[in-house]
Amino acid sequence: MAAPVALIQGSSRGLGLEFCRHILRNRASAAVLATCRDPEGAAELRGLEAQHPGRLTVLRLDVSREEDIRGAALRVKESFGRLDLIVNSSAMLHPSGRGETSLRDVSAEGIISTLTTNTVGPLVMAKYFAPLLQKGGGGFGQQPVEKPKQHSGLIVNITAKVGSIGDNGLGGWYSYRMSKAALNMATRNLSIELGRGRPKVVCVSLHPGTVSTDLSRPYHKNVPTDKLFSTEHSVNCLMSLIDALNMEKTGKAYNWDGAELPW
């Protein structure tokens, strides 16, 4: 089997950067493509690239710009010709950095901006990168024993439990909740379209838990210590789930501990 190729969208910090570290550390032969809006300003990512010459490639990509996504897909096609895994990691809570607590905090601009990054971006990523995932070698996920290969690639959208309509009992955070609920619908739609025929692509939404990142930092004081995860712990859990994915699990949302989340 050819060496697996993974693309992590939103890799300059937080979960995205840790996904790059994890795969480079634990998949000796894997190639990692790391995207971010400003590669020159991503010091940690550039440092990681220097530590793994030839294995980590940094690509400029602003997920809110379709032309950036199209161009990155063309580069990946020319350099690798295929993909085995995409993780859509970048997200914003709200342009202000804080979720809306009531209707008076809601603005059209804030909602549109949040939806563009959290929902539209991952869907457009799928549009341009799905053909490369359909050419993947199935290097991530779980293939059946002594049976034809079930899937060629995986799309993993990082969601949030607050995007679950069935789990919402508190309200608030209009933009973020709506963007993640819509992302879950996109995941479901993608799983149906990309699950038809062969080759198939597995599509799931994964909730990483409450992780100590810039996005969640304003709310750390409200989170019990044992419920606030490091990026390393969260990604370890999520990669265990990714390694166990197959076509039976496509089109669903899962918690970091493997429990299926209600839509």
Q: What is the pLDDT of residues 26-53, one digit of tens each?
A: 998 999 999 999 999 999 999 999 999 9
- Let me know: does 124 contact 66? Beta carbons within 8 Å: yes
Which parts of the chain sit beneath pLDDT 50? Answer: none
Scan for tokens 């030839």, then name that residue.
Answer: 54
Residues forming a β-bridge with 153: 201
Number of domains in the chain: 1
> 263 lies in a domain?
no
> 259 lies in a domain?
no
pLDDT at 100: 92
How many other β-carbons are positioned within 10 Å of the β-carbon of residue 199? 16
> 261 lies in a domain?
no
> 143 lies in a domain?
yes
> 30 lies in a domain?
yes
pLDDT at 224: 58
pLDDT at 153: 96
Q: What CATH number does residue 47 fall under?
A: 3.40.50.720
Q: Which domain holds residue 137?
A: 5-254
Give the C-alpha distances (Å, rounded to integers) separating 214 from 15, 219, 239: 10, 10, 21
> 262 lies in a domain?
no
Q: Rounded to whole angstroms, how far apart are CA atoms 263 and 258? A: 15
- What would the two tokens of residue 25 be? 């550390």
> 186 lies in a domain?
yes
pLDDT at 189: 98
> 72 lies in a domain?
yes
pLDDT at 221: 59
